[in-house]
Amino acid sequence: MNGSRTARVHLAIIFGTLILLHFYVRPRLFDTRLAPDFLLFGLVVFAMRSGPGAGALAGFLVGLATDALSPAKFGAATLADTIVGYAAAWGRAVFFADNVLVNAGFVAVGLWLRDLILLMASGTPQGQLLVELGVYSPLQAIITAAAGGLVLLAFRQWFAVRLDG
């Protein structure tokens, strides 16, 4: 197999695993407000390794799938994930993105940004907005970044990430 085809197979295996983790393991872990968001992790990692257009398209698809599963404020997750995918792709140009800690930081910031946009677009009341953005979102961001770091470590050769600072 040539390098490009091997990379696509690796990407398909990783994203298939992330989808299984997100929809099968995540609901069984603990409170979903704190459980790692494997789809967002996959989106940020994909966007950082592709261009802004591909990152925005991936964000749109992830957000559309999320909206389809919880249609209370349809379109809010699509908007939020599209912006996060686009921003993550542009962020790669600014930061050196082949380090595990940098990737984990991008995931944490991306999750918090996604929650901010999602809650604002959903018309969340101010009291609940402050609790979500001040308590639950940072905790979920840290948990997702840690879980994402473990995935990156497990597949570090496929992602071509470094362990040193």
Task: Give which of 46, 31, 76 is closest to 151, Cα–Cα.
Answer: 46
pLDDT of residue 151: 83
pLDDT of residue 160: 61
Per the CB < 8 A criterion, the answer to whether 12 and 46 are in contact is no
Q: Distance between CA 72 and CA 20 in Å, rounded?
A: 24
Q: Encode burial over 19-32: b for 16+ CB neighbours within 10 A, e otherwise.
A: eebbeeebeeeeee
Amino acid at position 30, single letter: F
Model confidence, pTM: 0.83
Over its length of 165 residues, how does the chain's per-residue pLDDT go in tens digits? 455 777 677 777 888 888 888 788 777 777 777 888 888 998 998 888 888 998 999 999 999 988 888 766 888 999 999 999 999 988 877 776 677 888 888 899 999 999 999 999 888 888 898 999 999 999 999 999 998 888 888 877 766 655 555
pLDDT of residue 142: 94
Residue whose pair of structure tokens reads 């991936």 in the numeric block: 58
Q: Give 3-159's CATH code, choosing from 3.40.50, 1.10.3470, 1.10.287, 1.10.1760.
A: 1.10.1760
Six token digits for residue 143:
């948990």
Q: Distance between CA 20 and CA 73 in Å, rounded?
A: 25
pLDDT of residue 15: 81
pLDDT of residue 1: 47
Q: Coil, helix or strand for 144? A: helix
